[in-house]
Amino acid sequence: MRIVLAGTGSAVGKTTISTGIMKALSNEMNVQSFKIGPDYIDPSYHSLATNNPPRNLDSFFMNEDQLKLSFDRGMKIAKADIGIIEGVRGLYEGISPTGDIGSTASVAKALDAPVILIMNAKSLVKSAAALVLGFKALDTEVKIEGVILNKIKGKRHYLKAKEAVETLSDVKVIGAIPRDDDLEVKERHLGLVPALEQERIANDIDKWSKVVKEYIDLDALKEIAKSSPKIKINKKTELWNTNNKKTTRIGIARDEVFNFYYTENFESLEDNNAKLTYFSPFKDEELPDVDALYIGGGYPEIFAKELEANESMKLAIKKFHNDNKPIYGECGGLIYLSKSIDGFKTCDILPYPSQMTDKVQGLSYVIAKSNEDNLISQKGEVFRGHEFHYTKLCIDEKDVNSANFAFDIERGRGIINKQDGLSVGNTLANYIHLHACSCPNLAYNFTKNINEL
């Protein structure tokens, strides 16, 4: 049983409504959430609402068979009753103006999942029906089975818009959310404020859930979800390489600062016999007893002062590096491993300072090719990822040629001059965020190289 909650565009309230639905249904059934697209932040809300680890689906990272297997695997691990899939941007927005790749529609079609459109219906009545008709007509393979109207002025507005949509587009309206500024979600430079950083968000999710219960027909939503047919899995499909049989111990930096990780990345490491231990560069004074470190993305620039103050942790990570033990850093991990963040001293493993900027420095899907063997890939290997950051690593042009970059960027920006994957000893750090399905040898190569060092 599955359903896709898709927006008609931006600012439609998709995340608040989707999360509210997840929370409301979680009171009566086991809900597994999925987020379409390269996103860590919306899924952190989902996890708080469902009490299940969040998961991502992305047709740029995964082929159709992988999308099916990844969804099926997630449902089985959670023993979930229903899979609720929140879309990205508008239903049909992808990486090209006319193609499907990267869009919500591509995932909905791959999973043969019914779609409920979430629409900002402010000041719309008959035009709301026109929007639904247009979305239906653009791709008849997408099964639009319901509509939720948001930002409705009152009962009169609701009844008129409902009549227009149901009569003219032949799609059932299953709910209408009134205008309420309290239902807006705070934002920050990388999008929605991560749930792991905000204790109060749990109260907000409860509020969204109550609104959903009052204004959305959840029984109708469940009936639509029940109409989804059984997914046929290709038995030859693999999500990632699982050939490493030797045990490794990996320390994962995971706290209020570093929390941009895909659940699937952890699972791919565990499938390669890695034992994961979580630690906090923000709060802990020493590292756990491990063979390697994985420092993911997050907000080290926001917590630069606190990270600088934790001198014992910085020294422990620097010693770990000097002892030639492997460290892998992504985005926020990259700048924490740099010399400093906006003047605040950090680990000083990468010999360059980093700084926060006012403008986005990287916002793109990425295709990269390894130009040498490294911690996570072999020479010639091509893999996909994404980048989204406002920071930059400050490398002078005169120093570029002496720096060792493991990746050539074929699509995207990287650290500098279409290069990424800065390598210093056994430390590798990049701006690219990788998903285990988009770089299927990531966990295998990392665990294998840990054992061989």
60 touches 437 (CB < 8 A): no
Joined tokens for residue 192: 């929605």
Residue reference for tokens 């630069």: 304
DSSP for 327-375, please give it.
EEEETHHHHHSSSEETTEE----SSSEEEE-SS-SEEEEEEEEESS--S
Phi, psi of 284 (to 5 degrees): -80, 150
Sheet containing 327-330, strands listed edge to edge, beginning at the edge strand earlier in sequence:
274-279, 248-253, 292-295, 327-330, 427-430, 419-424, 405-411, 362-370, 382-389
Residue reference for tokens 């079609």: 109
Give me the numbers of helices (H) and strands (E) for the chain, helices first please. Answer: 14, 24
Q: Is 331 a catalytic residue?
A: yes
State the Cα–Cα distance between residues 315 and 326, nearest whole angstrom: 16
* 337 burial type by CB count under 10 A (0-12 exposed, 13-18 middle, 19+ buried): buried
Q: Which entry of 331, 347, 437, 439 is annotated as an active-site residue?
A: 331
Local structure of residue 232 (DSSP, 8 states)? P
Helices (H), 217-262: 218-226
**Which positions ≥6 away from 417 have C-beta within 8 Å?**
400
Residue 276 pairs with which residues in a beta bridge?
250
* Dihedral sign of CA atoms 348, 353, 358, 361 in order: negative
State the Cα–Cα distance between residues 292 and 324, nearest whole angstrom: 10
The secondary structure of the chain in percent helix, strand, coil, rounded to multiples of 5, reads: 35, 25, 40
At position 214, the amino acid (one-letter code) is E
State the Cα–Cα distance between residues 54 and 43, nearest whole angstrom: 5
* 85 burial type by CB count under 10 A (0-12 exposed, 13-18 middle, 19+ buried): buried
| Catalytically annotated residues | 331
